Amino acid sequence: MIRKHRQLACAATLVAALAMAAPAAAAPQVDTSALRNAVTYDGIHEHLEALQALAVPFEVGGAPTRATGTDGHKNSVAYVVERLEAAGYDAIEQDFLADIFVEESAAFARNGVPYPRYDGETGVWYTADFSGTGDATAAAVAVDFTPPTDQASASDSGCEAEDFGPEVVGKIVLLQRGTCDFGLKAELAGEAGAIGAVIFNEGTIGQADRNDVLIPTLAGYTVTIPVVGTDYATGFELVQASQAPGGVTVTVSVQGIVQQDVETANVIAETPGGRADRTVVVGGHLDSVFEGPGINDDGSGVGTILETAEAMADLPAPRNKVRFIFFSGEEQGLLGSEYYVSQLGKKALQDISVMLDYDMLASTNFARLIYDGNGDEHGFAGPNGSGVVEQVYKDWYDSQGLSYQTIPFDGRSDYDAFTTAGVPAGGIFAGAEELKTAEQVELFGGELGEPLDPCYHQACDTLDNISELALTQHKDAAVHAVGTFAQTTSSVNGTGKASSSSTKAWDWKGDHQVR
């Protein structure tokens, strides 16, 4: 997922919602057992085995990959089309052209001495997703540094244009994680005349995920300068050095090439029956990063969606049409989903009742995470009906006696194009590079302080990076939601009646909401 990575861009912390109610008190509204029983772990794993076998190295000596534009991705498209057509669907390849950025080199240094790049285990920095390119060496300037406490930071470092005075022109800015998107910080820095940026973690005392290496995503913003992410200790060291006599010189370099007009395609199939004016879109991304084959990210989602489509083909037609979409170019900036939505007319868009996004369902150090559709826990909601989607997942986990947490819509996966267009959406997530907290260990088990997916965006994201327990639990929740919305008799978005709490006095602007 384009979560690539990534620490959440918002300052809100994950909110735990213990879900230990007795099954009888939280029985799901729709019986989806036939569909859930037909979608098996073994069936999904068969698809994962195929995707791994279809991955091909992008370059000599490189890891097998299914990145957009590569032979591995083309093989993946052909495989999904073949399986869908064998199940009786009319599979459509929606062709489009994509601009693909391929990083060739990057560097981060202090006074000419390189810092070690983060490799998933060691190192202190990583290139920000969707960084600008260039070689920048200049004095460093700290922007609104806030000393951390034992509570989440209220730092607004670089969140407003006024934060960048004339002193940043021609300099490298040091930006602290805080209350606004990483991309906003980097965009404003470039507009103010900075020639490079270092975004460092916030530093909350006693919270590993607020101190370790950041891999910030800048998606959705126009960033023209090279940007890297680093840990709090490195960032604080540079802040201190920048304020000392003589200052400090920092190098930030990101070099790459943009492959323009790369031919690629989304794959689309839908049930032949069902009400078209209540179409349920079920989506995940078919591409991986260049660094690996992406069997969890997002083979796990693709395998689950494909197995669900095959299972539905053998069951009675659903009440509402279900459309399965396998997006291309997600890891390059949600390109496939944005293209798909851009091609919809007003009526076709209105006919989509809900979008269910499945991106990373089998993380080995997993959590059970649900998007906060109504915004009551993280401060901002999806379009009307998104709160109902959230509740469907909560009710399911409640019925199984399983705990969960909610996470905000952060604009890092394919749901974003739909929520931006006003379509209610939701999904579940097993976790990416975020480090497991003590609270999450209590709720879900696993390893404290380790990434939820230890092979996130790495060559080791193979079949060995799949948790059978995580995939089984997440696939049941995912398939239950598909079955629920496929069978709803509601005339509004969602099951039953749309939740009033999912309506907020906000408008969407890109992947943000503004009053």
Tell whether 364 is covered by a domain.
yes
164 and 86, same domain (yes or no)? no
Residue type at 20?
A: M
315 and 439, same domain (yes or no)? yes
CA distances from 204 to 137, 178, 185, 419 (A): 29, 11, 20, 31
110 and 195, same domain (yes or no)? yes
Beta strand 92-110 with 113-114: parallel, antiparallel or unpaired?
antiparallel
Instruction: Please give the pLDDT value at position 22.
Output: 29
CA distances from 81 to 88, 369, 478, 503 (A): 11, 30, 22, 38
330, 331, 390, 433: the active-site residue:
330
Active site residue 59: no
Q: Is the dihedral of CA 6, 8, 11, 15 positive or negative?
A: negative
Structural contact between residues 361 and 308, judged by C-beta atoms closer than 8 angstroms: no
220 and 280, same domain (yes or no)? no
Q: Is the dihedral of CA 468, 471, 477, 482 positive or negative?
A: negative
238 and 329, same domain (yes or no)? no
Q: 224, 257, 290 — which closes off a domain?
A: 257
438 DSSP β-pair partners = none
Tell whether 1 is covered by a domain.
no
Tell whether 175 is covered by a domain.
yes
415 and 331, same domain (yes or no)? yes
- The enclosing domain of 235 has a CATH number of 3.50.30.30
409 and 450, same domain (yes or no)? yes
Q: At CA 345, angle to CA 342 and CA 347, rounded to 5?
A: 140
Tell whether 9 is covered by a domain.
no
42 and 124, same domain (yes or no)? no
Q: Give the global pTM.
A: 0.78
302 DSSP β-pair partners = none
Could you report the average pLDDT of every consecutive run of 10 residues in the chain (515 residues)? 40 34 46 96 98 92 92 98 98 95 91 91 88 96 93 83 97 94 94 98 86 82 94 98 98 90 97 95 96 96 98 96 97 93 96 97 98 89 93 96 93 92 96 89 93 89 98 98 91 38 32 31
Q: 228, 257, 286 — which closes off a domain?
A: 257
Q: Give me the number of domains the chain comprises.
A: 2
Instruction: Please give the pLDDT value at position 13.
Output: 34
Structural contact between residues 387 and 499, judged by C-beta atoms closer than 8 angstroms: yes
Instruction: Please give the pLDDT value at position 15.
Output: 35
Residue in 277, 282, 417, 424 with CA at minimum distance from that of residue 341: 417
- The enclosing domain of 341 has a CATH number of 3.40.630.10
Q: Where are the beta strands (DSSP E) in 52-112?
A: 56-57, 64-65, 92-110
> Burial level of 112, CB count in 10 A (0-12/13-18/19+)?
exposed
Tell whether 216 is covered by a domain.
yes
58 and 123, same domain (yes or no)? no
Q: Which domain holds residue 183?
A: 105-257
Q: In residues, how long is the chain?
A: 515
Instruction: Please give the pLDDT value at position 170.
Output: 98
